[in-house]
Amino acid sequence: MYTRCVARSSLIFSGRNKVSRYILDTNLYIRATRDNEQNRALAAFLLAFTPQIYLHSVVAFELLAGATNPALQKRTHEAFIEPFERRSRIITPSHEAWKRAANVLAQLVGQKRVSLNGITRSLVNDCVIAASTRESGCVIITENRRDFGMINTVLPIEIAEPWPIA
């Protein structure tokens, strides 16, 4: 289930009155590079909520893997990855998170929500993001309702649509 968060005193609170920590899904960074309005929205969110935003290692992987030349790799690293590395705000999946992600995939196949041959690299990555984000107590901000909605049926996770501010 998608949650809507509200801002109070410049800090974001979930429904449980605790400050939320956020992971932004890869699709939001990609859209920001392709659309000026999305770029402004991302920049505003990052500026307003920097202390609560973390980068997921799988998101860094997807961003760098999509940067197909050295100049783009450098720009991607400088713009989206290095700021989080400098602040030690990286979420990296633990062994338990990898196992939990595998269990999610197995349950989805067992429930015939996805076929064994239909498991995409993107779905595997999203399962790992979901499992480790849950483990770290973060909220995933994404527009990918299909994958994260399906994952949420077997692994309850906190998901928010862009941009969870009042």
The answer to whether residue 100 sits within a structural domain is yes
Question: How many structural domains comprise the chain?
Answer: 1
CA distance 102 to 33: 31
CA dist 161 and 140 (Å) reads 8
11 domain-assigned: yes
22 or 164, higher pLDDT: 22
- CA 6: distance to chain centroid? 19
Residue 33 lies in a domain: yes
Look at residue 141 and tell me if it is in a domain. Answer: yes
Assigned domain for 165 exists: no
Structure tokens at 17: 């009155």
Q: Is residue 166 part of a domain?
A: no
Q: Is residue 80 part of a domain?
A: yes
Q: What is the pLDDT of residues 111-159, one digit of tens each?
A: 999 998 889 999 999 999 999 999 999 999 999 999 999 999 999 999 9
- Whether residue 22 is predicted with pLDDT greater than 90 in this model: the reply is yes
Confidence label for 166 from pLDDT (cuts 50, 70 and 90): very low
Whole-number percent of the chain with pLDDT over 90: 83
**Does the structure show a pLDDT above 90 at 2?**
no
Rounded to an integer, what distance in angstroms lies between the CA atom of residue 9 and that of residue 71?
40
User: In this structure, what CATH number is given to the domain that contains residue 57?
Assistant: 3.40.50.1010
Residue 10 confidence (pLDDT): 32
Amino acid 99: pLDDT: 98
Alpha carbon 105 to its chain's center? 18
Tell me which residue range forms the domain holding 155.
2-160
* Strands 22-24 and 11-13, sheet pairing: unpaired
CA atoms within 13 A on the CB side of 65: 10
Query: What is the per-residue pLDDT for 118?
Result: 85
> Does residue 85 or residue 18 have the better pLDDT?
85
Q: What are phi and psi of 6, to 5 degrees?
A: -125, 150
> Each residue of 24-53: pLDDT tens digit?
999 999 999 999 999 999 999 999 999 999
Between CA 111 and CA 63 the distance in angstroms is 31
